[in-house]
Chain A
Amino acid sequence: MPPPRDHLRRWLREPALHFAAAGGLLFALHATVARPSEPHRLSVSSVFVEGLRAEEQRRSGRAPTPEEERGLVARFLDEEVLYREALALGLDRGDLIVRRRLVQKMEFLTQDAAPLPAPDDAALQRWLDQHPDEFRAPPRLSFRHVFLNRERRGPTIDADARELLSSLRGGVDPDRLGDPFLVGSRFALRSEGEIARVFGAPFAALVEALPAGAWSDPLPSSFGLHLVAVEQRIEGTTPSLASVRERVRQGLLAARRGEANRAALDALRSRYAISVEWPAPARLASAPSGKR
């Protein structure tokens, strides 16, 4: 779901744009970053003060007075001093919120970093072949039916159904038999679930079990009785690439993006000498599952 971030990442690397974006904090970091050799030097440039002025103007709709401007700078200096002292004391370490924010920023900078090449048809076809279950269509049937309305016919419905069935088996045009059924008399290539949406699940299961070719005995639904002729049954198939191209493309790209991100993380990891002291296996087995 997250949209491509290339343009954001570009902005992030261009400090000159930060005031335009009102990203004041980011600008402040760039403008006043402490040089390691002079940790207690704090100089504020005129460009920075102009930036503060512009941001204030955007916020309040007018330029700050000189007095207000001095207040803005003073507030910034207070904040900056406290920030540097906090860093000096190591207060950023072990803070879950700081840690999470920094991780988020690094993830943002490292993930989805390289544009992925557009996959060609061969790659898409391979992906479709390798993930048949994801795209496979369920078994489908085509059928027609003649409806008998239970409410309209009352106690004669069963006898009426038998009579209609013999007419049908004698070759009478089914369009001219039975009661009107509002939502149609022919259904094509529907899965059992799609039949259930119209007729209810019990009826769909009965139709699913019918052999193809002949008129069935009367089958009950929520609405009455139906005489059903299954005309065609096709087993589950894998669709053509053309018909599912976008879904295949997104599936493949998501997987490649995952691989690329993993590779980027692994590259960073490779800079570290990592050792893990695993606890006894028994404790692992009793750990709660992380799945929601």
Chain B
Amino acid sequence: MPLLVLVAGCGSPASPPDAGPYLEPREPCAERDPLRKAYFGDLHAHTALSFDAWTYDVRNGPKEAYDFARGGTVYLPPLDANGRPTLPAHLDRPLDFAAVTDHSEYLGETSLCTTPGSPAYDSTICKQYRPPTASLTALGIGGPNPIRPAICGDDGKLCLDAAAPVWRSIKDAAEAAYDRTAACRFTSFVAYEYTLSPLGSNLHRNVIFRSARSLPQPITFFEAPQPIDLWTQLRAGCQNAGTGCDVLAIPHNANISNGRMFVPDYPDATGLDDERRIAMLRRDMEPLVEIAQHKGDSECVNGLPSAPGAPDELCDFEKTHNVPINECAPGKTGFGGFLGTGCLSPLDFVRHALKAGLQEQARLGVNPYRLGIIGSTDTHNGTPGAVAEQGFQGHLGTADNTPKAVLTGQTLAARPLVSNPGGLAGVWAEENSRDAIFDALRRREAFGTSGPRIALRLFGGWSYPDGLCADPELVKRGYAGGVPMGGELPARPGGAGAPKFIVAVLRDPGVPGKPGTQLQRVQIIKGWIDAAGAPRERVFEVDGDAKGGATVDTATCVTKGPGHDSLCAVWTDPEFDPALRAFYYARAAENPTCRWSTWLCNGLTQPEQKQYKCDALGVPKAIQERAWSSPIWYAP
């Protein structure tokens, strides 16, 4: 159908050969919608196989994580006398898809140190690694160079060998969870997290494989000490290996990267052509960024003198950094972000990275930061999709599973108090299969939410009629007359004015006993490079109520006031300059609701509230949950 031809064109040089609709054998999905549906998932979930999770008494493995995502019950610490976790956890409603992304680094070490009778179990390193010391640095984490601990032997072979069956078990769990029947109930992905943290700056990526045709072993920071090594090796070892393997990488927590995640950087480039090659490699390997998760929001920030633009009050959301802000010197980066220290750069936030991408495009002809947007949790409990503020059970085992630990504790990374339950990844896909969801991720027809299942659509074109929001064929016309989120506006037709955008939002319908929250408003955020080459941004109110009459009583968490079940508008850029590069993304906000810490404090006794300083936690009592679309780009 011509519609699909129009929207599927994203000719990455690394596209797999056309093998029909499915790369792997499976029944065709009964529900296949050419106009695409919203599917919600979590592409960032750790289990007990991750070196850090295990030391916090997390015992759920990949199988349990997928069971949880599909609606099953799993158990969290504390452990009983037999070492079994005791607290039940389950999702109000299952996810449509998930990826278990254990830290690929130390998979073998963790297995050796946690398996009684292994050759390293009784070594000093393993004893220090296990509770009660629970020293992560015992494995060599945080050192200036990636060096395997001594338990691996001089050539690291013992740990690589020990990692092999662990990696196999991860793949087996993904295989078992994937629904290959026509019902297409659930999609899993073979995946892992690449955990590069030079000098404590977070450069982590989740590596997601299209199918079971993945790698014999993950490419970790031991093999790939810089991100460019990861992209190069994924391209060679997966995409170009002739095995049907395909893959993409999703960076996360730019907010604790001290400017390093998105600082334009072309290590060892021999000239402009080489920089262009690297920029293309990055653009193709990393089509998305995780904008929100357990360790905070990475969309935008107020208060950075070098980040122009009027204050945007919705940026004050789930911030993990210290106040006042210590800003990186212009063009410089810092270190220590993972430990809650170091300088903050505008490039720690996606909005500014998108602008830096436009600048790089002007310089190189290639935009290395053509980033679509998703959210996820980064749970370390093996609980993908556990995003509810009310009754949040924590994401890091014993580090945040009691009121005391979560309200007053301190871990290596962000304090539990400034952390949050995290978000979800949304995709617009024809069906719930690996192929359809992976394709949606690749073409950036994806969106992120801070947790709720808000469905958000964005289309850009040149001639959408104003009355489309009342047209039952809105979506069909959206595709036919332009591009969906993640795309680039078609060439401007002669005589066309400013670009038009269809923005439409549907609220979270909720579950029995926990109705979803109504929407307050939807905005479009435009970023561009002005005629002088300077990055600019502006937030436009598009539909809903910017003043927001609705409130939440933080003593009871009862909400009241007006809101919207859906929002929709056809919006025209009122200050369009056809000569300037730009991007546009949509942001929909719910009415205010209680933050998880407020729900928790409200459920405590008065002495406990006093003991944990519930009246002066130093974090907001209410939040506005939200959804972000991937951008649509304009090029002159």
Our pick among A8, A18, A23, A104 for the contact of B162 (Cβ within 8 Å) is A8
Inter-subunit contact B115/A8 (CB<8 Å): yes
Our pick among A107, A182, A187, A244 for the contact of B181 (Cβ within 8 Å) is A244
Give the contacts of B97-140 with A (CB-CB under 8 A): 111-112, 115-125
Alpha-carbon distance between A196 and B71 when the two chains are bound, in angstroms: 14
Inter-subunit contact A3/B165 (CB<8 Å): yes
Alpha-carbon distance between A5 and B112 when the two chains are bound, in angstroms: 10
A51 at the binding interface (Cβ < 8 Å): no
A-B contact pairs, 25 of them (CB 8 A): A1-B63, A1-B173, A9-B117, A11-B119, A17-B119, A21-B153, A22-B150, A24-B123, A142-B31, A151-B566, A152-B469, A177-B472, A179-B470, A182-B38, A182-B504, A182-B505, A196-B93, A197-B453, A223-B565, A242-B25, A243-B27, A244-B180, A247-B176, A292-B80, A292-B84
Inter-subunit contact A23/B119 (CB<8 Å): yes
B172 at the binding interface (Cβ < 8 Å): yes
Alpha-carbon distance between A25 and B29 when the two chains are bound, in angstroms: 56
Our pick among B71, B161, B564 for the contact of A151 (Cβ within 8 Å) is B564
Q: Which chain A residues border B151 with CB–CB below 8 Å?
A: 21-22
Our pick among A20, A146, A179, A201 for the contact of B153 (Cβ within 8 Å) is A20
Q: Which chain A residues border B182 with CB–CB below 8 Å?
A: 189, 243
Alpha-carbon distance between A176 and B473 when the two chains are bound, in angstroms: 7
Q: Which chain A residues border B175 with CB–CB below 8 Å?
A: 246
B509 at the binding interface (Cβ < 8 Å): yes
User: Residues of B with Cβ closer than 8 Å to A?
Assistant: 25-27, 29-33, 35-38, 48, 61-64, 71, 75, 80, 84, 86, 93-94, 96, 111-112, 115-125, 150-151, 153, 158, 161-162, 165-166, 168-169, 172-173, 175-176, 178-183, 185, 453, 455, 457, 468-475, 504-507, 509-512, 515-516, 564-566, 568
Count of A residues near B, CB < 8 Å?
75
Our pick among A20, A26, A104, A187 for the contact of B31 (Cβ within 8 Å) is A187
Alpha-carbon distance between A195 and B447 when the two chains are bound, in angstroms: 21
A4 at the binding interface (Cβ < 8 Å): yes
| Pairs of residues from A and B, 8 with the lowest C-beta to C-beta distance, nearest first | A1-B61, A3-B165, A21-B119, A180-B474, A188-B31, A108-B117, A200-B509, A189-B30
Alpha-carbon distance between A280 and B69 when the two chains are bound, in angstroms: 45
Given contacts A109-B117, A196-B93, A243-B27, contact A59 B506 (CB under 8 A): no
Inter-subunit contact B31/A189 (CB<8 Å): yes
Number of A-B contacts (CB under 8 A): 200
Q: Which chain A residues border B180 with CB–CB below 8 Å?
A: 242-244
Given contacts A22-B125, A140-B183, A292-B84, contact A180 B469 (CB under 8 A): yes
Our pick among A108, A188, A200 for the contact of B30 (Cβ within 8 Å) is A188
Q: Which chain A residues border B150 with CB–CB below 8 Å?
A: 22, 58-59
Alpha-carbon distance between A23 and B153 when the two chains are bound, in angstroms: 11
Q: Which chain A residues border B31 with CB–CB below 8 Å?
A: 142, 186-190
Given contacts A1-B61, A109-B117, A182-B506, contact A239 B122 (CB under 8 A): no
Could you give, for residues 43-56 of chain A, a 1 whenever the CB lies within 8 Å of some chain B CB and a 0 otherwise?
Answer: 00000000000000
Given contacts A180-B504, A246-B176, contact A200 B33 (CB under 8 A): no
Residue of B nearest to A174 (CB): B472
A101 at the binding interface (Cβ < 8 Å): yes
Output the least CB separation between B79 and chain A (Å): 11
Q: Which chain B residues border A247 with CB–CB below 8 Å?
A: 176
